[in-house]
């Protein structure tokens, strides 16, 4: 008996056109979305902390939408911060940033300040290639016409060159700022531009805090400031009319208020107290 080939079983499947995916998403649109989400620049930069002035290496990612995000190197899922580069006011060479003490191991030709309307970041790249790449990426997303240095400007800034003219230093107009408080107070502070001299700083603090001209200004650790060169961007300053440093603060620990008052004289703690309370207990600690 001769064998005959059977016809293929019937199917309800209809062949898809070549430009339509199974999910119903146009492949061209998917490709465009993938490209638009790709970073404009990705790499490592070392930045100075906003409050603690130490240097930390961070992973930075700049997207075409103009947002610069940075992440912890060890835990890259941990977002450290976000900057809108449309709020950038200047990118200045490190040699013109008089108020920052650069990390001793940094390549001077790769140090720069990224100034925005909200804060200033002092950073440096690992090498010339990375520095040039970041500057090129910043030019694509920053507002047109702002002061923006080149790699050559950065290198020249350490030799006394004035290539950037009137923008040769990071001043209040370029984004440098400090927070000022009355002595013994940690609230109702004011943010003022970073002044170029101690007399200008005292005057600005007096006007902002509506207090007599302060004769003594302290850092948050109680150290008295003798020179404007010791003041850095984003520092917290405490203004005194002559009395010794006194920092008052209230914090919350697991729902319980804790009040701490510290007194310092000649940078040595004299004493203070702390209060701890719960619905059934109230304790006061006094120490000297």
Question: What's residue 92's pLDDT?
Answer: 93
pLDDT level of residue 76 (50, 70, 90 thresholds): confident
Give residue 18's pLDDT.
Answer: 42
As a whole number, mean pLDDT of residues 21-29 equals 48
Q: Which pLDDT value is given to residue 71?
A: 94
Nearest to 115 by CA among 165, 175, 69, 171: 175
Per-residue pLDDT band at 195 (split at 50, 70, 90) = confident
pLDDT tier, 285 (very low <50, low <70, confident <90, very high otherwise) = very low
pLDDT at 65 over 80: yes
pLDDT score, position 170 = 38
What tokens were used for 170? Answer: 């990071």
Statement: residue 53 has pLDDT above 50: yes
- Separation of alpha carbons 62 and 144, rounded Å: 18
**Confidence (pLDDT) at 196:** 78
Residue 54 predicted with pLDDT over 80: yes
DSSP state of 11: -
pLDDT digits 0-9 by tens, 228-238: 877 877 778 89
Top-confidence residue, 246 or 86: 86
Mean pLDDT of 85-107: 89
Kindly report which listed range (61-65, 92-96, 99-103) carries the lowest average pLDDT score: 99-103
Asked if 125 and 107 touch (Cβ cutoff 8 Å), the reply is yes
Across the chain, mean pLDDT equals: 74
Asked whether residue 15 carries a pLDDT value surpassing 50, the answer given is: no
| Confidence at residue 265, expressed as pLDDT on a 0 to 100 scale | 42
- pLDDT at position 4 is 52
Q: Is the pLDDT of residue 59 over 70?
A: yes
Over residues 77-106, mean pLDDT: 90
| Confidence grade of residue 77 (pLDDT, cut at 50, 70, 90) | confident
Cβ count within 10 A of residue 60: 23
Higher pLDDT, 194 or 274: 194
Neighbours of 109 (CB within 10 A): 21
- Summarize pLDDT for 137-157 with one digit per residue, the tens: 999 999 999 999 999 999 999
Closest CA to 274 of 6, 50, 262: 262
Name every residue whose Cβ is closer than 8 Å to that of residue 11 and which is 6 or more positions away in sequence.
none
């Amino acid at each position: 008996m001769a064998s005959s080939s059977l016809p293929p079983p019937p199917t309800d499947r209809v062949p898809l056109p070549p430009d339509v995916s199974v999910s119903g998403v146009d492949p061209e649109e998917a490709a465009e979305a993938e490209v638009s989400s790709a970073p404009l620049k990705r790499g490592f930069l070392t930045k100075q902390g906003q409050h603690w002035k130490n240097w930390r290496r961070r992973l930075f990612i700049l997207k075409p939408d103009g947002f610069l995000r940075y992440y912890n190197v060890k835990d890259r899922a941990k977002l450290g911060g976000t900057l809108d580069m449309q709020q950038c006011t200047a990118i200045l060479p490190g040699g013109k940033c008089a108020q920052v003490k650069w990390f001793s191991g940094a390549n001077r030709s790769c140090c720069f300040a990224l100034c925005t309307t909200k804060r200033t970041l002092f950073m440096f790249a690992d090498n010339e290639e990375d520095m040039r790449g970041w500057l090129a990426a910043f030019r694509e997303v920053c507002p047109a016409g702002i002061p923006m240095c080149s790699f050559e400007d950065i290198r020249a800034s350490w030799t006394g060159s004035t290539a950037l003219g009137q923008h040769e230093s990071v001043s209040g107009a370029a984004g440098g700022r400090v927070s000022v408080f009355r002595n013994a107070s940690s609230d109702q502070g004011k943010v003022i531009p970073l002044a170029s001299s101690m007399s200008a700083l005292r005057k600005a603090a007096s006007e902002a805090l509506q207090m007599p001209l302060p004769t003594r200004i302290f850092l948050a650790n109680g150290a008295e400031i003798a020179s404007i060169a010791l003041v850095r961007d984003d520092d917290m300053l405490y203004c005194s009319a002559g009395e010794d440093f006194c920092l008052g603060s209230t914090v919350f620990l697991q729902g319980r208020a804790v009040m701490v008052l510290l007194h310092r004289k000649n940078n040595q703690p004299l004493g203070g107290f702390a209060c701890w309370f719960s619905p059934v207990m109230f304790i006061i600690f006094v120490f000297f």
